[in-house]
Homo-oligomer: A and B are copies of this chain.
Amino acid sequence: MPITERTFRAGMLLLLVLSGVTTLAHSAQNYQLETVAEGLHHPWSMAQLPSGEFLVTERRGQLLHIDADGQTRVIRGVPQTYVAGQGGFFDIVLHPGFPQNGLVYLSYADGSAAANSTAVFRARLQGGALVDGRQILRVSPRKDTPQHYGGRLAFLPDGTLLLTTGEGFDYRESAQSLSSEMGKVLRIHEDGRVPADNPFPNEGSERIWSYGHRNPQGLVVDADTGTVYLHEHGPRGGDELNIILPANNYGWPAITHGVDYSGAYVSPFTEAPGMQQPDWLWIPSIAPSGMALYRGEHFPQWQGDLFVGALVDQEVRRLVMRNGEVIAEHALFEEVGERIRDVRFAPDGHLYLLTDSNDGRLIRVIPGK
């Protein structure tokens, strides 16, 4: 005889309470998308200020301040940038001590068509403008393509700063070379100095933290565990998520699961000794950009999950995480119907999206009714 639903439920609850179960509320995924600001010109990244207002980069070389009403204002004191192809302004992050020191970090394309590279600019935000700004890192060597800059920034728990760099498209072999800073994750101190404990102090660039990357445009550090998640655009069928550890070689272009967009092989190999396999692979490619680790209270079932923007698929992919591993993938926010350039989990406990167009939007994800 089947036990009734109610008796059963009560029994299970008792059983689990007695056994010291880890509880995780499981509510329906009802959300609403709220447009905070629109009319943004190819916005690339956002950072939320302690006031709840926002800084947003536009690829064309503008940094915007956006208030709670969605009013935008251009911030002065930004660096000159090389705007072409994929080049321009990229990421914006606040120093962990921002409330005290007002420091912000901006990554961007520096140089000219003939000689350009990804760079990092540091300044203080004061009176609505950047002051005391200076370039604290410029990727070496320079390149002559306007593509594959990488450009994501993230602070590690130890206060050092990571920058992802692309391999410049025509220079993919450089991702395997420790003499080039292209196709790497670089690590510097907050003022640009090189940490003494970087993994390659005596071979090539001492700023290199990991190598063998193609064009990483997603980087998030789990403040609870220190785990560093990075995703990168692969060739067709080769977009990857990786957990980054210092000195690791992530294989590009020696190994890849993708093929060139022309259909040509990049490499006949998908694995090799000493090269890391991806923790997740997107087949087909989604063109990932931006990534957030959800630590909010509004959606308990999203706790600890990764959210990845998709340019080509025009949606967000939720990667359900358990003990650092992906156990499910779930498409969300398809109704936005635009390329997603950035996904951020902001200090106010909300997830935010930036859409990539010349009429781009900043969107807040809030609980549904």
Contact = CB atoms under 8 A, between A and B. Distances in A.
A369 interface: no
Contacts of A273: 19-22
Interface in A267-316: 267-274, 277-284, 301
Contacts of A196: none
A84 to B, nearest CB: 18
A330 B280 CA distance: 12
Contact of A328 (B172, B264, B269, B283): B283
A87 interface: no
Given A253-B12, A254-B15, A279-B327, A2 B170 contact: yes
A329 B329 contact: yes
The residue among A8, A25, A259, A270 with the most chain B CB atoms within 10 A of its own CB is: A270
Given A280-B328, A281-B328, 18 more contacts: A8-B172, A11-B173, A12-B254, A16-B272, A19-B272, A21-B269, A21-B271, A24-B268, A26-B257, A26-B259, A26-B265, A28-B263, A270-B301, A277-B323, A277-B327, A278-B327, A283-B330, A284-B330
| 10 nearest A-B pairs in the assembled complex, by CB-CB distance | A281-B328, A2-B170, A283-B330, A21-B272, A24-B270, A283-B328, A22-B271, A277-B322, A281-B327, A8-B173
19 contacts: A2-B171, A5-B264, A8-B172, A9-B265, A11-B173, A15-B254, A16-B254, A16-B269, A19-B272, A21-B271, A22-B273, A23-B268, A23-B269, A26-B257, A26-B270, A257-B328, A277-B322, A279-B327, A281-B320
Interface of A: 2-3, 5, 8-9, 11-13, 15-16, 19-26, 28, 170-173, 253-254, 257, 259, 263-265, 267-274, 277-284, 301, 320, 322-323, 325-330
